[in-house]
Homo-oligomer: A and B are copies of this chain.
Amino acid sequence: MTTQHLVDQIHKKKSFLCIGLDVDLDKIPKHLLATEDPIFEFNKAIIDATHHLAVAYKPNTAFYEAYGLKGWQSLQKTIMYLNEQHPNIFTIADAKRGDIGNTSTMYAKAFFEDLAFDSVTVAPYMGKDSVEPFLNFKDKHTIMLALTSNQGAFNFQTKTVEGVELYKKVLETSKTWKNAENLMYVVGATKAEFLSDIRKIIPDSFLLVPGVGAQGGSLQEVCEYGMNDQIGLLINSSRGILYASKGEDFAEAAKVQAELLQSEMMSILLKKTGA
């Protein structure tokens, strides 16, 4: 999917909501556990109930790998379902991969070709030649960790390197890489006050913003400091939507939570576009 197509979808749906499909078998409604593939059944119900409210879905690979081969199969079925039923939805494999060049190419093939995701998250620690193999894929997007939503972000990401914080160094350096127009960045909603500075370095890039909801980030603040002319934001919510109810009404409850976020987004978008 091109970036322009994603922007068009945001305006059409009046939403920049991404729903994180982080499915924990200990947290989903008990009645689903009797089905052949509880993870896929759960995802399918969530997608069916919310696809008109979200522009992106983001399965985190950890939650699938934890269930071994069966989990990987559920991931495969989920992305196939999304691609077949909702080709206008932007899909993100939240995998945080990164390795030496020829190995990163294998990861890129795994997520862009075999599973056919639109994008994948990567870690920056190994530098340019660990990320550029992902950037080679046309109309695919590589979403690099910049400033994450967790407490551990303060261990290294905010330390000063050659006069700027490491996460800014990561932004500045990666801007110069080949096919950098295929880069997006992860910035946690819990660190919204950093977004003004971030926008000075990467005014045009899309940001994937986790941490609204369960982790305590504010949607209003993220938009105030992080939105650009193309909107440039995908706000992720996972637990707050997925586990809104543990009963048979889980999908309906998820829809209500997604509607709350989407209506807040619509209001922000209307203010911004003056419509």
Contact = CB atoms under 8 A, between A and B. Distances in A.
Interface of A: 22, 24, 60, 62-63, 65-69, 71-73, 76, 94, 96-101, 103-104, 106-107, 109-111, 114-115, 123-131, 145, 148-157, 159-162, 166, 169-170, 173
B125 A150 contact: no
Contacts of A145: 125-126
B60 A99 contact: yes
Contacts of A103: 22, 60, 62-63
B62 A110 contact: yes
Contacts of A76: 68-69
Nearest to A128: B152
Contact of A98 (B123, B151, B159, B169): B123
Given A123-B123, A145-B126, A62 B107 contact: yes
A104 B72 contact: no
Contacts of A109: 66
Contacts of A150: 100-101, 126-127, 129-130
A263 to B, nearest CB: 27
A7 to B, nearest CB: 28
Contacts of A170: 156
B152 A130 contact: yes
B68 A69 contact: no
A166 to B, nearest CB: 7
Of A73, A129, A156, most B-chain CB atoms within 10 Å: A156
B65 A107 contact: yes
Nearest to A159: B161
Contacts of A131: 152
A71 B155 CA distance: 35
A170 B65 CA distance: 27
A140 to B, nearest CB: 15
A161 B152 contact: no
Given A161-B161, A166-B156, A66 B127 contact: no
24 contacts: A24-B106, A60-B106, A62-B103, A63-B103, A63-B106, A65-B106, A67-B114, A69-B69, A69-B72, A69-B73, A72-B72, A96-B97, A100-B149, A100-B150, A124-B125, A125-B157, A126-B145, A126-B148, A126-B157, A128-B152, A130-B152, A155-B173, A159-B162, A159-B169
